[in-house]
Chain A
Amino acid sequence: MQLRFLEGIRFVDLTWAGAGPFSTKIFSDFGAEVIKVESASRADPVRLGGPFRDGIAGLNRSGYFASRNTGKKSLALNLKQPDAREVVRALIRHADVVSNNFGPGAMDRLGLGYDEVRAIKPDIIYLGMPMYGENGPLSGLLGVGMTISAVTGLMWLTGHQDGPPIGPGTHFPDHAANPYHAAFAVLAALRHRRRTGRGMKIDLGQVESTVNIVGIPVVRHAATGQEPERIGNRAADCAPHNIFPCLGDDEWCAIAVLDDAQWLSLTGVMGRGDLAADPELARAAGRLARVTEVEEAVASWTAAHSAGEVMRMMQAVGVPAGMVAHSRTLMEDDPQLRHRGYWQRLDHPELGESTFTSPPFRLDGERVPLARPPLIGEHNEDVLSNILGYNSERIAALRASGALEC
């Protein structure tokens, strides 16, 4: 049973791939009716990309798609057909929000630019999420999440101290910065509309959104005139502060000594009275001056213990520490996430029973219950007959012409 916070709010959602659908998912999870307008003949790339249940590809078998589209309805249309575009325009008359993450100009070519949509529904909230914004000399540059990392400084800053830029290992801006800035903007626009009766257009340039999540280094640069240092797992003002190798293959634990008392706690657990007694190492500045030596001492100790043991021993004496988790340890071992009921199991006709992450908070002590993602075209009849009042002949005609798919 979905929450009913947003009951009565309807999206005509043309977003696809990663960042756009992740923005609108939070609305369906909270009870908005999010109608995902998609196509079987030109399918959402995330339906085509893996991972797939049992490794077998299929439009309804992608876990990536599933994770971005819980609780939505799917209407499968071929937007190359005028009749299909007419269906979308008819739906917009009944919608509060129209969302897309196509490149600049694509919605205009579909006859669904802001001015056209506003002519249909004057108080519409219109969300676009092009990479570099809707206008300007580089607005036509093609991009993926990593390109956004590249042009915002995020990629440059991601790397070890004294090493080359490495960049995030994921299309990081797609998975938090851009979807959640977009969702926040839509929620603000909904409140604005409720108070003033006015809709608005939201042009979320994904680069501009992402520059804000590196806002701290950007303002630091503005203040100092210095390019922020690439610092990796270290910290500018304390040490040791790094990820250390532990017993086993590719096992790691982060340890962060944030003050001088924690240094004494750490050396106590390590049984290194000699380090604790070294007056040069008593202060952060001294440990930073000899950081390589300090880290080697810690690493030689961590190498003899499992990552979990290191974490527990450090935490027991108040030193911030955490094992480096990966997908398997998160889903199968992490006691905190299990305790908090973070994982939800949902059944699905083709994926079978599989695991979903809850929205990352509890609401009044409970988890936000998720509803499974839609099969492609699953809600064709529901949407066309219940919202638009089309009869079965009209729906059959749309299917026969190829405007309606599935």
Chain B
Amino acid sequence: MAEIAPRPYDGLRIVDLSGELSGYVTRLFADLGAEVILVEPPGGRPERQREPLSGSVNYADAAFAFLNAGKKSVVIDWRGGAGAEILADLVSSAQVVVVEADAGALLPQIMRVPGPRVVTVVSHFGLDGPYAGYRSCDLVTQSLGGIAWLSGTPDGPPLRLPGEQTSMVTSLYAAVATALALWDLETHGSGHVIDVSAQECIAHSLQNALQVWDLERHISSRGGEGTRDSTEDIFACRDGYVFLAAPLSLPMSWRALVEWMREEAYPGGERLSHPDWTDRARRATAAARAEFRTIFESFIRERTRAEMRAEALRRKIVLAPVSRISDLADDPQLIFRRFFVDVPHPALGRSLRFPGAPYRLSEPVWHIDRAAPGAGEHDTELSGIRRFAAR
């Protein structure tokens, strides 16, 4: 039998009672060798049961496939009797338990199981406090955490970020906290309880907005009117949009952009060489922004995103195409790096293209071992756990 290369989280068992906020926590561990066991109620998790709105695959199903790849699944009716005992045995055999607050009623049950371990509890607002009983979702937590305020346009409402960012951001913080606590468990033998608040995670990710208020008593706002340079924006080109950043704080980018226009004898090059454009404050005004937009968009009107990217690379301008999700598979860099991986989706009878590793490691330790499991798929395999726990 070929020797199997060791992986960072070999030998680690995680009991996963995650929900919509924390699925990605354990996915990260699974990809590096941990045995992650999703514990599902009879009938499977509620997120499996959402009706498809159209077509054969709905949003929830894609999310489930992404967040739960590489995990195992057991179905346990943990509300009492034999099920509660099986859950206790499973917890007893694990070094880490991740539990989401909707299953928070389970927490005392988990804490009663003897032995040091890491218990990571993830909720929208934390386990106590005036909002602890509040109902929430991605939109509400992005609002109460302060990130929605920072996006959008000055003349419109605050705007949430796409792709379930409350869940993704919270999961990342929770995963790091869990790994730190596990390090301590394995170094000093101390178990830990981590109480992760999604609202706090969002509020921890606001760039420098909190410090701007604390030190300068200014409220950073969406669109950055008055602060964002006229060049820092999305601009229309021939086949879509590009994002440009050429403020005076990136002098190389600005000089290269103006030089390019001058090289092509484009009149905007002259205009942007005028001393007006050395005035940082003036560049952030609505008038300057409008003028720059007119100049730049007429310069790039006949150019494609790919042409713009090639020039940006050659001239050292901070500029990139605004890619659609459907463009990612054609990104020459991601192709070169063989970034995407195909993961089987048994229900569809084919593979789905997944994002590859978020970090390229020099040791061959990152891989997705299997597709997201069916509910109870590993009941039989894991039926020996009770004996394992008793040992």
* Residues in A lying within 8 Å of B, measured CB to CB: 5-6, 18, 26, 30, 45, 49-55, 63-64, 66-67, 114, 132-133, 135-144, 146-147, 149-160, 164-172, 174-177, 180-185, 187-192, 194-196, 198, 200-205, 207-209, 211-224, 227-228, 230-233, 235-237, 241-245, 252-254, 256, 258, 315, 318-328, 330-331, 334-337, 339-340, 342, 351, 354-355, 357-365
Given contacts A52-B215, A169-B223, contact A140 B313 (CB under 8 A): yes
- What are 22 A-B pairs with beta-carbon distances under 8 A? A6-B183, A51-B214, A52-B215, A54-B216, A67-B210, A141-B320, A153-B327, A160-B156, A165-B241, A188-B8, A188-B179, A191-B179, A195-B8, A202-B360, A218-B354, A224-B55, A227-B324, A232-B159, A325-B149, A355-B214, A357-B204, A363-B181
- CB-CB under 8 A from B234, the residues of chain A are 150, 155, 164-167
Supply 14 further A-B pairs (C-beta < 8 A) apart from A49-B249, A175-B205, A220-B62: A63-B215, A153-B324, A170-B150, A177-B168, A202-B360, A215-B354, A224-B57, A242-B139, A243-B143, A254-B140, A322-B141, A335-B129, A361-B200, A365-B193
Least Cβ–Cβ distance between A288 and chain B, in angstroms: 9
A221 touches B215 (CB 8 A): no
B207 touches A325 (CB 8 A): no
Knowing A136-B337, A153-B328 touch, does A181 contact B359 (C-beta < 8 A)? yes
Given contacts A232-B159, A365-B193, contact A208 B337 (CB under 8 A): yes
Which of A52, A158, A360 touches B196 (beta carbons < 8 Å)? A360
B384: shortest Cβ distance to chain A, in Å? Answer: 25
Which of A141, A183, A362 is the one whose CB lies under 8 Å from B194?
Answer: A362
CB < 8 Å: which of B140, B312, B337 contacts A320?
B140
What residues of chain B have their CB less than 8 Å away from a CB belonging to chain A? 6-10, 24, 28, 32, 50, 53, 55, 57, 59, 61-63, 65-67, 125-132, 134-137, 139-153, 156-165, 168-169, 172-177, 179-184, 186-187, 192-197, 199-201, 203-216, 218-224, 232, 234, 241-243, 245, 249-250, 253, 309, 312-313, 316-328, 331-334, 336-337, 339, 345, 348, 352-363, 365
The residues of A that contact B176 with a CB separation of less than 8 Å are: 26, 180, 183-184, 187
Distance in angstroms between the alpha carbons of A196 and B212 in the assembled complex: 45
Residue contact A326 to B221, C-beta cutoff 8 Å: yes
Question: Known contacts A55-B216, A208-B339: does B61 contact A223 (CB below 8 Å)?
Answer: yes
- Nearest chain B CB to A205's CB is how many angstroms away? 7
Least distance between B207 CB and chain A CB atoms (Å)? 4
In the complex, which residue of chain A has the Cβ closest to the Cβ of B6? Answer: A196
Residues on A with C-beta less than 8 A from B53 are: 236-237
The 3 closest A-B pairs by CB, nearest first: A63-B211, A360-B200, A327-B213
Bound Cα distance A5, B353 (Å): 38
**Could you tell me the distance between the alpha carbons of A191 and B11 in the complex, rounded to whole angstroms?**
11
Q: Which of B137, B148, B182 contacts A258 (CB 8 A)?
A: B137
Contact A204 B162 (CB under 8 A): no
Q: Which of A147, A232, A315 contacts B320 (CB 8 A)?
A: A147
CB atoms of B212 and A166 under 8 A apart: no
Give bound CA distance, A63 to B206, whole Å: 13
> Is A220 in contact with B337, judged by CB distance below 8 angstroms?
no
User: What residue of chain B has the Cβ atom nearest to residue A139's Cβ?
Assistant: B333
Report chain A residues within 8 Å CB of B134.
315, 320, 322
- The CA of A208 and the CA of B348, in the complex, are separated in Å by 26
A residues less than 8 Å from B135 (CB atoms): 315, 318-321
Assembly CA distance A138 to B135 (angstroms): 44
A215 to B160, CA, bound (A): 17
Find out whether the CB atom of A357 lies under 8 angstroms from the CB atom of B203: yes
B8 touches A152 (CB 8 A): no
Bound Cα distance A64, B186 (Å): 34
| Given A133-B360, A208-B357, A315-B135: A323 and B144 interface contact (C-beta under 8 Å) | yes
Q: Contact: B359 with A182, CB < 8 Å? A: yes
B173 touches A360 (CB 8 A): yes
Contact B159 A203 (CB under 8 A): no
Expressed in whole angstroms, the Cα–Cα distance for A254 and B158 within the complex equals: 10
Alpha-carbon distance between A188 and B249 when the two chains are bound, in angstroms: 36
One of B65, B157, B331 near A219 (C-beta < 8 A): B65
Assess A170 versus B207: contact at CB under 8 Å? Given A177-B168, A223-B352, A360-B201.
yes
> Would B149 and A166 count as touching, CB distance under 8 A?
no
A360-B197 in contact (CB<8A):
yes
Taking CB atoms, residues of chain B closer than 8 Å to A322 are 134, 136, 140-141, 143-144
A254 touching B143, Cβ below 8 Å: yes
